[in-house]
Structure 1
């Protein structure tokens, strides 16, 4: 058993990390394996893979580096997290450029690159690096008037957004823009900036609608289902209806057999059909718990960098979760965005584990807040007289 009197890295970590958040993340990773077991065999059979449990086994394998990353990164100090984000940002920029040059084109996009025989999606790893660096720049800009932190953060946004749009990946572009805008707002920008960025965002959406057929098609299908192919979204809705409150039972779902992305983007619909609306709401509550607890930690922080970086990471996690569930419920146009820790995918799982490991590291109780004090033995006072 680890004692508070011990002074070693494991003891320090154990008594300073948020155990409830850690348990929530591990539960979500386990839940992702369970849902992969429910959703992916039908996909494997449909695309002709001999082993029905191919995706399940891979998801379980992905979970191992995911858990190691989650826990390992949570041991780091805020300064080490910042350094990791800087190095990671540079590496991810290089990989994103390389992906555009030599990456295979899949469904009209270049988002993947093969490294040591493994397919990697660099944009997934760019997101946490971006959130931490923007948080640091905005915080430093507040402390040091000579440092144009806001201008540098805009430069980072421009670089990342340009690389994401070039793929193209408009869902991830929207996510990092919302993250940046949220951090910029929290750091104390004026209403003039808010209106300017709102106008720029609206202009960006209109431009994408006018110039990019892929975006126009998705928006038109969302606004008018009769305008095009809405098979996936309609099938997802029927899965929720078929599941009802309590679901059809594990493995008893039928719509996963015809839903193309039932193990990735639409795994929430499989959960609804097989386990029911009750479990869907429970999963949503777990995501809400993570977001609210993470935000409560961030709000208590005195260090501006830690506060903004943690807020950026938790914003990304919460927004991505909401967007995926909203798409499944036909509340938003399809975005091709995974459900954190739940959807099948190695890059997504490990990248989210990295992001939440950073959050755990940033929100740990630091030495100035928590001190390990060895027990003091008191001897009786000598009697007088």
Structure 2
């Protein structure tokens, strides 16, 4: 019996009917593009470092297959199970992020990775989805939990404490890009939670002030901003090469395998994979990729319009904000719209930590935005009776 059949009351059928099919289709298309662009970009990068030609391809096949499985499995969870995973995963990611300061791999002056036998892991990648869900839960507790003295649970205060701990760890690595994304996620959730506009303005001002401090304190931040603002200052090789790639690609691209940017940039398979897409497949492919991310974000937000549960609204808003912002930062850096930042393009760039953390993000968002309804009950008609289909009713899914 087909999963879409309304008379099919199996668990799989109920999951399928309740799912956001538009977002799931976009995820599938992005994973497919990840395979295609990895075939285009990674062999040249592997050859340049003296590795096997197919090393990155084979690893990314495994990473994306696992990512697809994580999306499907996570999307089947209940909101309560999503919260439990976020709490446990958040504590583990927080501990692992702290360990990077002691035993982490130092790359380009930053300690963000932990070396494992087959891959290196960036624990802070998994902080993003876990933080969004935990923060949504803490903010929601203000409405659901009353203390013995009659006061509301200080959810905002506790959430701010969690954020400050994470911010201190990310600043110590340092990872200003990840800190910026998590900060925007938190500010977005506070705004949706009804933070007074004056306080919200103060937070935005504080965030801008913090960026100014980072510009003055961290040399790599200062250098990237200077190179962005002043084309005649510093080394512009990577961004100039990226911009030439888009120009060479034109409308329809030079054709699969005909691009040159992958032979010139060391991170063509990761930070600049969007440039590879622009050169080999052209402006049309770039628009298609942008459209997929845009549709996925807006489809998820559209599911929240009829949602009444504050936990689901706040958590999903945080999850999709982090996802959309990460995509924008990668594509904006490649197009020289913002200062360069080493951030992957979700589901498309090479990277195990990135692929799995993004899959967890989207899987959680799909799980939280499912339309949970009781299964339809088909009444078998008698000889002279008509068929009655009981309308589905909303199922209680409070956390």
Asked whether the two chains share a fold, i.e. TM above 0.5, the reply is: yes
Q: Distance in 2 between matches of 1:299 and 1:153?
A: 24
Partner in structure 2 of residue 210 of structure 1: 216
Does structure 1 residue 372 correspond to structure 2 residue 380?
no
SS at match of 1:105: strand
Q: Distance in 2 between matches of 1:88 and 1:170?
A: 22
1:312 is displaced (CA, Å) by 0.9
Kindly indicate whether the alpha-carbon contact (under 8 Å) linking 2:105 and 2:115 is maintained by their aligned counterparts in 1. no
Partner in structure 2 of residue 41 of structure 1: 43
1:96 is displaced (CA, Å) by 0.5
Q: Distance in 1 between matches of 2:142 and 2:99?
A: 32
2:306 to 300, 312, 321: 300
Kindly indicate whether the alpha-carbon contact (under 8 Å) linking 1:298 and 1:308 is maintained by their aligned counterparts in 2. no
Does structure 1 residue 58 correspond to structure 2 residue 62?
no
The worse-fitting range, judged by mean Cα deviation, of 353-362 and 156-165 is 156-165
1:251 to 230, 246, 257: 257
Give the structure-2-normalised TM-score.
0.92
Q: Distance in 2 between matches of 1:115 and 1:379?
A: 67
Partner in structure 1 of residue 13 of structure 2: 11
Give the structure-1-normalised TM-score.
0.95
Partner in structure 1 of residue 105 of structure 2: 104
1:68 is displaced (CA, Å) by 1.2
Does structure 1 residue 26 correspond to structure 2 residue 28?
yes
Cα distance per residue 1:178-228 (max 9 Å; x no partner): 010011001101122112112211210111111111111111111112211
Kindly indicate whether the alpha-carbon contact (under 8 Å) linking 2:22 and 2:299 is maintained by their aligned counterparts in 1. no
SS at match of 1:252: coil
2:182 to 176, 179, 201: 176
Kindly indicate whether the alpha-carbon contact (under 8 Å) linking 2:14 and 2:375 is maintained by their aligned counterparts in 1. no
Kindly indicate whether the alpha-carbon contact (under 8 Å) linking 1:5 and 1:375 is maintained by their aligned counterparts in 2. no
1:157 is displaced (CA, Å) by 1.0
1:17 is displaced (CA, Å) by 1.2
Partner in structure 1 of residue 135 of structure 2: 134
1:245 is displaced (CA, Å) by 0.8
SS at match of 1:112: strand
1:379 is displaced (CA, Å) by 4.0
Q: Distance in 1 between matches of 2:326 and 2:71?
A: 18
Partner in structure 2 of residue 70 of structure 1: 71
Cα distance per residue 1:33-81 (max 9 Å; x no partner): 11000111111111111x2121111111111211111101111000110
Partner in structure 2 of residue 152 of structure 1: 158
Cα distance per residue 1:145-165 (max 9 Å; x no partner): 511111111111111111111
Does structure 1 residue 222 correspond to structure 2 residue 228?
yes
1:107 is displaced (CA, Å) by 0.8
Q: Distance in 1 between matches of 2:306 and 2:159?
A: 24
SS at match of 1:111: strand
SS at match of 1:343: coil
Partner in structure 2 of residue 329 of structure 1: 335
Cα distance per residue 1:323-353 (max 9 Å; x no partner): 1111000010111111000101111111111
Q: Distance in 2 between matches of 1:88 and 1:101?
A: 20
SS at match of 1:147: coil
1:142 is displaced (CA, Å) by 3.5
Q: Distance in 2 between matches of 1:303 and 1:19?
A: 21
Kindly indicate whether the alpha-carbon contact (under 8 Å) linking 2:143 and 2:152 is maintained by their aligned counterparts in 1. no
Q: Distance in 2 between matches of 1:117 and 1:249?
A: 33
